[in-house]
Amino acid sequence: MAAPETKVTILDVARHAGVSVGTVSYVLNGTKNVSEARRRLVLAAVSELNYVPNRLAQGLRRGQSRLVGVCLPNMASALFAGLADLLEGIAARSGFEVVQVLSQQDPELEYRRLSALLAHRLAGLLLVPSARSGASLDLVMREGLPTVILDRTPTQQRFDEIIIDNRAAMQDAVARFVALGHRRLLFIVSYPHLITTRQRIEAFRHTARASGLRMSAEVMQRGDDAADFAARLAAQLCRPDRPTGLIASNTRVGLWMIRALQALGLAWPRDVSLLAFEHPDWADIVQPPLSVIEHPTAEMATLAWEMLARRMREPAAPPRRIELQATLVQRASMGCCAADGHETIPIPHAEVEAT
């Protein structure tokens, strides 16, 4: 029971049990049949000496570690933080450790970080790619690293993927707005080049066009400066043909959008209706509560791990893609469009913010 100061090795166990190192290894890995008597001896020695196999040596010998990379854009988004939380738990229960990498949406950084990871001989990789991650993908493909891509599907399908049906989600979103009488919508995005965003924009425009109504469906970028964003949003909302419905492309955009509206002294759904992608935990406590498009995070994590486990077993299997549906949770932030919405709205603080 006493914990030995210096590291106990498989050789110590072997000696203590009066068997050879081979036997110890066989018992621990179940690689070969070992007589019950010696099995007991070995296990007794193991627990007595408190032996834990050195993962470094194991990995070197086996050619790979028990490490799984989890590469996400950041930890600030509810979606990514949720995935990180879930994946760590699942990986741990399967005997793997998660090594965490954040790309900060920067393809260069992502590439460098992934290269560094590879030197650790990962057993697998779970990746939410950044906008231009061609090089990163080539890298892991070249290395033959078992990889599952989450949330964002690359143009080529070379990997296992677990993604969201962004088109359907957006189609539903537009349909709901239309049903409430809205005809002019604004989609606010942060990374227009992201495939996720592109799919949503496409569906946004297409659904509006296909409605057969006289609709306008515009797209606006968030940018990196909150004050500037507020000013630009104000400009949009001052126009006589202003949008009556706003859709935010993620948690962060949703937050900025709400801050901007509050700074402008606007209320929802009175002045404008709101909807946000992803599922921030604060969505139901802003007043009125925010409608959201919820990602099935738990399901994504579970399925991603299953895919990765299978890929690790069968590296050559053809790539699979699983597409999950997001759920629109409609709350009070979406209201009926007053009249035809062509009256302008007063923006008390617009000038203050526009500086």
Partner DNA sequence: TTGTAGGCGTTATCAA
Partner DNA sequence: TTGATAACGCCTACAA
- Please give the residue ranges that form the binding site for its own copies (CB under 8 A): 3, 52-57, 59-60, 65-67, 70, 74-76, 81-82, 84-85, 88-89, 92, 95, 97-102, 104, 113, 115-121, 142, 255, 258-259, 262, 280-282, 284-287
Question: Which is closer to DNA, CB of 54 or CB of 221?
Answer: 54
CA dihedral 259, 265, 267, 272 (to 10 degrees): -80
Question: Which is closer to its own copies, CB of 43 or CB of 99?
Answer: 99
Closest approach, Cβ 125 to DNA, in A, equals 20
Which option in its own copies, DNA, none does residue 145 bind, with CB closer than 5 to 8 A by kind? none
Question: Which is closer to its own copies, CB of 43 or CB of 219?
Answer: 43
Element (H, E) at 134: helix 134-143
b/e code 212-235 from CB counts within 10 Å (16+ = b): eeebebebbebeeeeeebbbbbbe
Q: Which residues contact 30 (CB under 8 A, 6 or more apart)?
A: none
Closest approach, Cβ 206 to its own copies, in A, equals 32
Which option in its own copies, DNA, none does residue 330 bind, with CB closer than 5 to 8 A by kind? none
Altogether, the residues listed in the chain come to a count of 355
Which option in its own copies, DNA, none does residue 188 bind, with CB closer than 5 to 8 A by kind? none
Question: Which is closer to DNA, CB of 24 or CB of 185?
Answer: 24
Which option in its own copies, DNA, none does residue 166 bind, with CB closer than 5 to 8 A by kind? none
- Residues within the interface to DNA (CB under 7 A): 7, 9-11, 18-23, 25-26, 28-29, 31-35, 37-38, 51-54, 57-58, 60-63
Question: Which is closer to its own copies, CB of 159 or CB of 268?
Answer: 268
d(CA 81, CA 23): 44
Element (H, E) at 13: helix 10-17
Say how many C-beta atoms besides its own lie within 10 A of residue 104's C-beta: 12
Which option in its own copies, DNA, none does residue 221 bind, with CB closer than 5 to 8 A by kind? none
d(CA 79, CA 276): 13
Query: Do strands 291-294 and 327-329 pair parallel, antiparallel, or not at all (unpaired)?
Result: antiparallel
Closest approach, Cβ 7 to DNA, in A, equals 5
Closest approach, Cβ 42 to DNA, in A, equals 9
Closest approach, Cβ 139 to DNA, in A, equals 17
Closest approach, Cβ 30 to DNA, in A, equals 9
Question: Which is closer to its own copies, CB of 111 or CB of 204?
Answer: 111
CA dihedral 86, 88, 90, 91 (to 10 degrees): 150
Element (H, E) at 245: strand 245-248
Question: Which is closer to DNA, CB of 9 or CB of 211?
Answer: 9
d(CA 350, CA 313): 59
